[in-house]
Amino acid sequence: MSSLLYTIALILIIFWAIGFFAFSLGGMIHILLVLALIAVLFRIIKGR
């Protein structure tokens, strides 16, 4: 389960980076970043 969260977080961060540099989607990019950070935090919390 933790590897799944980590994978989702990485995918969301990659999409955020692509959107940040290539497109101007406004708030959608930041929502993706927040979701990725939440997934990483869950992985860190569950890992300990």
Phi, psi (deg, nearest 5) at residue 26: 70, -125
At residue 27, the pLDDT reads 67
Amino acid at 32: L
At residue 12, the pLDDT reads 82
pLDDT for 5-47, tens place per residue? 788 888 888 887 777 666 665 667 677 778 888 888 888 888 7
The domain spans of the chain are 2-47
At residue 23, the pLDDT reads 64
pTM of the model: 0.47
Tell which residue, 2, 8, 3, 17, has the closest CA to residue 37. 8
At residue 20, the pLDDT reads 67
